[in-house]
């Protein structure tokens, strides 16, 4: 079989597109011909060296494609099947896994981080990580299935009720998906961001109102017609984001945190206790991939407007530069496309 191309990270900022022998599917594994892969902040932090991985490493954890080959024991998956990859799998044996908290497993393996991922023509993954995708769904909708699963879990942990008000902190990929999931649950949504750059898009995607991160208590009061919003989904992951979320939520309300701030965060716990705010963390997903795919199929969530840039594998360096461009939301790598 002919050599295949992959973007191989040899060290911080040392990403090279190379030819290698094609991966072979072992028992319980499949090889996926990657049609599209999304680049996210995690990939950027690995590329820059801020997050260490074992080198050489092929990044890419948000991807879809077609089964190229299936090893023994790969279940019903057949060559040609269209699949999206759930890029985290757990040990299955520890107490956390046994009680169903597999997203919290300390021995969890992340495809594209701990093992090679989707910034390649072919990727080898456990068969159990592949979800079949209906042919009718656009590549660029399925491309966002992974971050959408993150958001589906976050919103679900906030116990949304139809007719409530909600605020989303952050207007990046997760924020703009959270907005749509909350809308699908029947909530009125305020989108809050440091910049007004994405406010037009947020409104097109269903936001009732948008606001900069200033004077948030007053903004939330006006928007909700009471002491603040019922539910806040925090997606920004900045040091101030929890403070912003607490300014927006009403006494007795709920805040779900999905952002992972990498610096110390000042949290005014007085405001949590005095107002009985429920503060909940939400980490990736447990069983949310099928729900995410259903939302895409029904058209309740349309992530296609979030895909702003597309690059072939040979231009992956430009893709990483584009990720930092304030005008970009989701950058897609299309390994089968000529640069
Ligand atoms: Zn990601
Ligand atoms: Zn485990």
Tens digit of each residue's pLDDT (9 = 90 or more) over 57-98 = 999 999 999 999 999 999 999 999 999 999 999 999 999 999
Query: DSSP states of 176-187 as a string?
Result: HHHHHHHHHTT-
Ligand closest to CA 104: 2
Q: How many CB atoms lie within 10 A of CB 188?
A: 19
Q: Which of 241-245, 247-251, 259-263 has the lowest mean pLDDT?
A: 259-263
Give me the chain's average pLDDT, please: 96
| Residue 174 Cα to ligand 1 middle (Å) | 10
In this prediction, residue 54 carries a pLDDT of 98
Q: State the distance from the centre of ligand 2 to the C-alpha of 47, rounded, in angstroms.
A: 27
Whole-Å CA distances, 64 to 13, 84, 121: 25, 4, 11
Name all domains of the chain by residue range, CATH numbers in brackets.
4-144+303-334 (3.90.180.10), 148-281 (3.40.50.720)
Q: What is the pLDDT of residues 280-334, one digit of tens each?
A: 999 999 999 999 999 999 999 999 999 999 999 999 999 999 999 999 999 999 9
Tokens 């903004």 — which residue? Answer: 219
Phi, psi of 176 (to 5 degrees): -75, -25
pLDDT, tens digit, 9 for 90 and up, residues 153-207: 999 999 999 999 999 999 999 999 999 999 999 999 999 999 999 999 999 999 9
Q: How confident is the model at residue 31 (pLDDT cuts 50, 70, 90)?
A: very high
Distances (CA, A) of 292 to 86, 129, 144: 11, 15, 9
- Whole-number Å distance, alpha carbon 182 to ligand 1 midpoint, is 20
Query: How far does residue 86's CA lie from ligand 2's centre (Å)?
Result: 16
As given in the structure block, the two tokens for residue 268 are: 């005014």
CA of 284 to the centre of ligand 2 (A): 15
Please report which ligand is nearest the Cα atom of 89: 2
Identify the pLDDT of residue 93: 97
Could you tell me the distance, in angstroms and rounded to a whole number, from the CA of residue 146 to the centre of ligand 2?
A: 20
Residue with tokens 């989108």: 191
Closest ligand relative to 90 C-alpha: 2
Q: Are 286 and 310 in contact (CB under 8 A)?
A: no
* CA of residue 154 to ligand 2 center, whole Å: 21
Taking 80 as the threshold, does the pLDDT of residue 121 lie above it? Answer: yes
Cα angle 164, 167, 172 (rounded to 5 degrees) comes to 140
| Euclidean distance between CA atoms 152 and 166, whole angstroms | 15
Nearest-ligand number for the alpha carbon of 144: 1
Ligand 1 center–CA 150 separation, angstroms: 9
pLDDT band at 2 (very low <50, low <70, confident <90, very high): confident
Separation of CA 95 and ligand 2 centre (Å)? 7
- Structure tokens belonging to residue 157: 């942990």
State how far the Cα of 146 lies from the Cα of 56, in Å rounded to an integer.
24
- pLDDT above 60 for 339: no
Instruction: Please determine, for residue 128, whether its predicted confidence score (pLDDT) is greater than 90.
Output: yes
Task: Please give the distance, rounded to the nearest whole angstrom, from the Cα atom of residue 144 to the centre of ligand 1.
Answer: 9
How far, in Å, CA of 330 to CA of 324, rounded? 11
pLDDT score of 266 = 87
| Residue 180 CA: distances (Å) to CA of 95, 158, 283 | 34, 15, 19
Read off the pLDDT of each residue in 134-139 and give the average, rounded to a whole number: 94
What percent of the chain has pLDDT above 90? 94
Residue 1 confidence class, pLDDT cut points 50, 70, 90: low
Closest ligand by atom to 97 CA: 2
Q: Which ranges of the chain does DSSP label H, i.e. alpha helix?
A: 41-48, 95-98, 139-142, 145-157, 173-184, 199-204, 216-224, 241-248, 269-274, 289-298, 316-323
Task: Measure 42 CA to ligand 1 centroid, in angstroms.
Answer: 6
Cα dihedral angle (243, 206, 183, 216), rounded to 10 degrees?
20
Q: Report pLDDT for 207.
A: 98
Query: Over the range 162-178, which residues count as b (16 or more CB within 10 Å of their CB) and which as e?
Result: eebbbbbbbbbbbbbbb
Gap from CA of 92 to ligand 2 centroid (Å)? 5
Cα-to-centroid distance, 110 and ligand 1 (Å): 10
What ligand is nearest to the CA atom of residue 101? 2
Cα(149) to ligand 2 centroid in Å equals 20
**C-alpha 89 to ligand 2 mean position (Å):** 9
């Amino acid at each position: 079989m002919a050599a295949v191309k992959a973007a191989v990270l040899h060290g911080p900022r040392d990403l090279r597109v190379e030819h290698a022998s094609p991966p072979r599917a072992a028992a319980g594994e499949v090889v996926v011909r990657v049609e599209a892969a999304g680049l996210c902040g995690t990939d950027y932090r690995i590329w820059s060296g801020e997050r260490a991985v074992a080198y050489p490493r092929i990044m890419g954890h948000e991807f879809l494609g077609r089964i190229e080959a299936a090893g023994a024991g790969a279940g019903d998956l057949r060559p040609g099947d269209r699949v999206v990859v759930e890029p985290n799998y757990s040990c299955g044996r520890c107490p956390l896994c046994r009680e169903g908290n597999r997203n919290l497993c300390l021995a969890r393996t992340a495809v594209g981080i701990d093992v090679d991922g989707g910034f390649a023509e072919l990727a080898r993954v456990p068969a159990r990580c592949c979800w079949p995708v209906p042919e009718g769904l656009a590549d660029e909708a399925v491309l966002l299935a992974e971050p959408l699963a993150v958001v589906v879990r976050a919103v679900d942990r906030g116990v949304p009720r139809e007719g409530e008000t909600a605020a989303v902190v952050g207007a990046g990929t997760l924020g703009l998906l959270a907005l749509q999931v909350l809308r699908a649950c029947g909530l009125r949504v305020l989108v809050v961001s440091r910049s007004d750059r994405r406010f037009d898009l947020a409104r097109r995607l269903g936001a009732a109102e948008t606001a900069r991160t200033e004077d948030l208590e007053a903004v939330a009061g006006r928007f909700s017609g009471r002491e603040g919003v019922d539910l806040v989904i925090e997606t920004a992951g900045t040091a101030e984001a929890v403070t912003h979320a607490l300014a927006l939520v009403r006494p007795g309300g709920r805040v779900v945190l999905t952002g992972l701030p990498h610096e110390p965060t000042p949290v005014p716990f007085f405001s949590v206790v005095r107002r009985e705010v429920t503060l909940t963390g939400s980490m990736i997903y447990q069983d949310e991939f099928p729900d995410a795919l259903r939302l895409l199929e029904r058209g309740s969530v349309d992530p296609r407007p979030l895909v702003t840039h597309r690059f072939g594998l040979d231009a992956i360096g430009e893709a990483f530069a584009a990720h930092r461009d304030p005008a970009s939301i989701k950058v897609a790598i299309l390994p089968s496309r000529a640069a």
